[in-house]
Amino acid sequence: MFEKKPWITLLAFTALGFALTQGILFSRWGMNVGLLAAAGVLLWRAWGGGPRRRGAWWWLLPAACYGAAMALWEQPMLSPLLLLGMAMALGLWALDGIHAGGPWEQARPFFPFGEMEAVASGLRRSARAGRLGRVAMGVGLAVPLLIVAGGLLLSADQAFYDFFEGLTSSLADTLTEVVAKAVLSLLIGVYLCCFYLQAEREKTPALRPQREGDPVVLGVMLGLYCGLYLLFLVISCRALPEMLRPGGAPELYSGYARQGFFQLCAAAVLNLAVFLGVRRQRCAGRGFTRGAQTLLAALTLCLIALALTKMLLYIRLYGLTLLRLYTSCMMVALAVLFLALLVSLYRPLPMLRLGAALAACTLAVVGLMNAGSLVAQANVDRYLAGDLQEMDLTQYTDFPDAAAPALCRLLAQTEDPALREEVLTLFEDALSTREHLSWWSDSLQRRQSAALMAQAVEAAGE
């Protein structure tokens, strides 16, 4: 079906993805039905649902870690990831034993991302030959022209500008939700296309495309790509001694961390995609191509080290936040992954297993570290010691329960009346909105912190 009508197949799977997104993620009854169905599958597999391998219980270890992290600590920004990880681990445990092979062979059918190249090539072929594909290509070519011409026309006529300003303001409330649903539905559609193609490959293995790859083309591409990163590192490292010097120029890493850290995170992820794409070619382990891959991995490690160095300097100056902590942990995990990739160029390593284990362990460690409390404790300690010039409380509105013990200590030891008033206002707002929170936001830490905040507010009122 996909080979004959790829765009129609993608649209059908995307519509199915929209139905799943609308019915499960954006609907309370849909989520409850999905949870009941998942619980039913688990119970069926636990009692009389067929045999499982002896090592199947290993899938329950990450599920238990993610569940413990959500039950113990408040998890700002991580609750969806922990829920997804727990659902995946429990699903793999429930389905273990249905297929032959070890645990990774059990999991591989649920990650059919090796078919992304076949999906893309099928869509390109259809775009050249089919009418719907040609329409889609025309729309894609028109989008940048519409953006440029629209900007010129908006600046040329005030009435035209006022019309679109009113239109966009009326759509502002729903645009974010619509875009989120559309993107998520498209991702589910692409995943289902890959899943369908993988099932077809199992029936007819000869259809799987094999790429030989040209070592000269790959070598030149990687050489130029590495040259860009080498130039960047040479220029960036010239200012590194000045930043590391005690009392050095904070404006260097201040501006960098505000505008450049997350761009370098994206660059490191892009390098990972390039590295894995080159590894799929047969000539990847030969001569100059392998040397260029080695250089790319080494330069990416240097890039990660430079980014982490500047971020640590920035944290020392302006304090710690959840986003800075999470992205730093992600970069450390990415560095470990690139080290493994570097070793795998010269010694065979099970990279799929290592990558999956690294992702699972990173999520478990970040979830169990009580990140919100760690951030609040570090900032309060530094502020009371005089190392932090200003105590910004705005970030703690996202995780007041995790920050409550540290903020109570700040309330008791600070002599700044304005800061005390901000802490008390934060506690009052957190207590007033507690009944509107979702069930998966509940935790032992939240229940314990409620008593602390109520006691602090009551003591201040007396």
Within 10 angstroms of residue 112's Cβ, the number of other Cβ atoms is 20
Position 328 in a domain: yes
Residue 188 sits in the same domain as residue 114: yes
Residue 19 sits in the same domain as residue 159: yes
Boundary residue ending a domain (310, 328, 356): 356
For residues 66, 70, 73, 78, the Cα torsion angle rounded to the nearest 10 degrees is 80
Position 301 in a domain: yes
Residue 345 sits in the same domain as residue 236: yes
Residue 221 sits in the same domain as residue 349: yes
Q: If we measure between CA atoms, which residue out of 451, 43, 13, 318 comes closest to residue 195?
A: 13
Residue 246 sits in the same domain as residue 344: yes
Boundary residue ending a domain (356, 381, 416): 356
pTM of the model: 0.71
Residue 345 sits in the same domain as residue 390: no
Please give the residue range of the domain that contains residue 110.
Answer: 1-51+97-209
| pLDDT tens per residue across all 462 residues of the chain | 666 777 788 888 888 878 777 766 555 555 566 666 666 666 665 555 555 566 667 778 898 899 899 888 888 888 878 888 888 887 777 766 555 555 556 566 666 767 777 777 777 666 555 555 556 656 665 666 566 566 655 665 566 566 666 665 555 555 556 666 777 788 888 888 887 887 777 665 444 444 555 676 777 778 888 888 888 888 777 766 766 666 656 665 566 555 566 677 778 888 888 887 777 776 555 667 788 888 889 988 988 888 888 788 788 888 899 988 998 898 899 999 999 999 988 888 888 788 888 999 999 999 999 999 999 999 999 999 988 888 888 889 888 899 999 999 999 898 888 999 999 999 998 888 776 666 666 788 888 888 889 988 888 876
Boundary residue ending a domain (356, 383, 400): 356
User: Amino acid identity, residue 379?
Assistant: N
Within 10 angstroms of residue 78's Cβ, the number of other Cβ atoms is 21
Burial grade of 142 (CB within 10 A; 0-12, 13-18, 19 or more): exposed
Instruction: Locate 455 and state its tokens.
Output: 């006691």
